[in-house]
Amino acid sequence: MSQPNCVRSPFEFHQGSVPLLVSMPHSGLGLTPEVEQGLTQAAKKLPDTDWFIPELYECVKELGASVISANYSRYVVDLNRPSDDKPLYTTKTTGLFPEILFDSTPVFVDGKAPSESDHERYKEQIWHPYHSTIEQELARLKSIHGYAILFDAHSIAAQVPMLFEGTLPEFNWGTNQGESCSSAIVEAVMGAVSDRYSQVLNGRFKGGFITRGFGKPSENIHAIQLEMSQDTYLSNDAIAQGRYELDTDKAIAIKSQLNAILTAVLKAEI
């Protein structure tokens, strides 16, 4: 079976020493030939990407944490969906192999979407290795420290009418209604957020498949998702022109905030 045609592996992985793994499943920009040649003009801009997440979380390695970040776009395969593609929400959303953008328009030109065999290849060569690496790393960290924490890092536009009404709070925490991690972790992260930012717990975003699948507090493995509003760091002027660029001042502030959050996670008494 041929490998996806790209110059990089399906993900980047750095192994740390503290009991924390940060996952970035929607930061990838890579495309397979089948996906690239079938995208609509709107989809070619990759609008639903979690833009600049690896850059914003540059503190991860300095803190000694492990990190895994996707290299492929979610339009190839969505790493935060179950491999059987069962819906995670009762409200409208996108699936394992997205057919629509967050604005409800098609991802692919009619008749040019990847085939079922392509999908199976993407699951085998991208989805499964990403999840296997998470599983193995959490087991390693638990064996060393007695527990492990998975922090699933995301971002999204502040306003996405297809997914939710109005404007999102700036920090959206998800713990699958408290089932994926201990309350100590929730208290730590929410307590570390500056008053300049709004936040909510288990609002529109309660944690995707990664949070729900790996978070097992009874087994000393905890998982929490952060869906961060892109208003906290993107340039509004660039967005208005159809581009995605960091706002320098916003980015400095949000990097400091994320450092404080992850530091608090590591100090939480589990």
Task: Render 227-267 in DSSP notation, one character per residue.
Answer: EEEGGGTB-HHHHHTT---B-HHHHHHHHHHHHHHHHHHHH
Residue of 257, 259, 68 whose CA lies nearest to 171:
257
How far is CA 242 from each of CA 28, 45, 101, 132, 156, rounded to the nearest angstrom? Answer: 19, 8, 15, 36, 15
Tell me phi and psi for residue 91, to 5 degrees. Answer: -80, 170
How many independent structural domains does the chain possess? 1
- Asked whether residue 204 is domain-assigned, the answer is yes
- Asked whether residue 194 is domain-assigned, the answer is yes
- Asked whether residue 222 is domain-assigned, the answer is yes
- Asked whether residue 1 is domain-assigned, the answer is no
Domain limits for position 144: 11-267
- Asked whether residue 3 is domain-assigned, the answer is no
- Asked whether residue 6 is domain-assigned, the answer is no
pTM of the model: 0.94
- Tell me, rounded to whole angstroms, the distance of Cα 177 from its chain centroid: 18
- Asked whether residue 165 is domain-assigned, the answer is yes
For the segment 175-233, what is each residue's pLDDT rounded down to a tens digit?
A: 999 999 999 999 999 999 999 999 999 999 999 999 999 999 999 999 999 999 999 99
- Asked whether residue 216 is domain-assigned, the answer is yes
For the segment 84-139, what is each residue's pLDDT rounded down to a tens digit?
A: 977 666 666 789 999 999 999 999 999 999 999 999 999 999 999 999 999 999 99
177: domain CATH number is 3.40.630.40
For the segment 47-58, what is each residue's pLDDT rounded down to a tens digit?
A: 999 999 999 999
